[in-house]
Structure 1
């Protein structure tokens, strides 16, 4: 017995884009990668299937249009889709899910070498710098009035602020961790945790009770 598909978080991400304008599946995949890929990365195959599911649910509608000599299918949000999107937005979502191969490698650094750990930390900082370069370019574009969908700058700014702090965090952490790992013996199994750094982590981890905000 077949069951009706149910909306997922990716479904609502697509609905949010359809609330901005009508898109073809190719355009949706590009827009997801450009605007949402850093906060909700998904395989392109998922993006191509999602609009069809939304149509079956009555949350989106499909229409054929001609561009030059080509005919393509574009998708738009329906009134039911806007109601479903609004209901989802009124329900607080789950928090971030951490996934980092570099952090995983640092966690198991005692099975490797000091040099290998330092290389991983340098790569982490380079990753943050590279991502932030694109982030900065986006900010400059909006400041210049050339960013996409300028009427949504207020909303885009909030996410951009998070990404800015996140990239700064990764770079700062990589510098801090590298400074400690540089003092490790070549065999990380013999490394010791500096008590002063453990105290620092504990103090910073108590920010909710000390300040009520970061």
Structure 2
């Protein structure tokens, strides 16, 4: 919230919409909580609130304070935690041996569909920024970092889904009878070692 207020003053409704459009992909929060957060920032002295009337509708606009900017700078100075993944379809596939092959294939297809849908939205935004017409275009250097992550993430999910579909189609009708391909297990192990291998290579130079 402080980061958004550092960009410009917002009403609660505008803050909520902005969270849905951008930060909600990496920082999901219930909408009810989003409406309460600005009030907490005011109570802490990190923001001020000013009541306005637009047409006949009243609204409250929140603006970051100097204390709020200092708190934001302090938070930015400390590296945050890594990502937390919540992927229901992957959890379902982890127990595919208790369902049917058809169930697993449908779940994999749904995962790919999710990636395609999300990337369609992502691609539209990326094209606007590339054309110099993105929201807050002057901040493109920083928003580009998240945009690149999502581009790679959606492509990764799609590639994984294609691979998973190929594997599952080779299963017998009862997934409980499926046998893992040793070559695929070896390939996964090889690819999983990329980090330590690169670190050793760097250390030997």
TM-score, normalised on structure 2?
0.95
Query: Partner of 1:9 in structure 2?
Result: none
- Is 2:116 the partner of 1:129? yes
Which segments of 5 or more consecutive residues in structure 2 lack a partner in the other structure? none
Query: Partner of 1:11 in structure 2?
Result: none
- Is 2:4 the partner of 1:38? no
Mapping for residues 18-37 of structure 1, pairs under 5 Å? 18-37=5-24
How far apart are 1:32 and its partner, in Å?
0.5
- Is 2:101 the partner of 1:153? no
Number of residue-to-residue matches in the alignment: 200
Q: For residues 114 and 70 of structure 1, what CA distance do their matches in structure 2 show? A: 54
Query: Partner of 1:168 in structure 2?
Result: 155
SS in structure 1 opposite 2:86? coil
Q: For residues 119 and 211 of structure 1, what CA distance do their matches in structure 2 show? A: 37
How far apart are 1:29 and its partner, in Å?
0.5
Q: For residues 55 and 108 of structure 2, what CA distance do their matches in structure 1 show? A: 50
TM-score, normalised on structure 1?
0.91
- More divergent stretch after superposition (171-180 vs 59-68): 59-68
The structure 1 residue matched to 2:79, chosen from 92, 96, 111, is 92
Which segments of 5 or more consecutive residues in structure 1 lack a partner in the other structure? 1-13
- Is 2:102 the partner of 1:115? yes
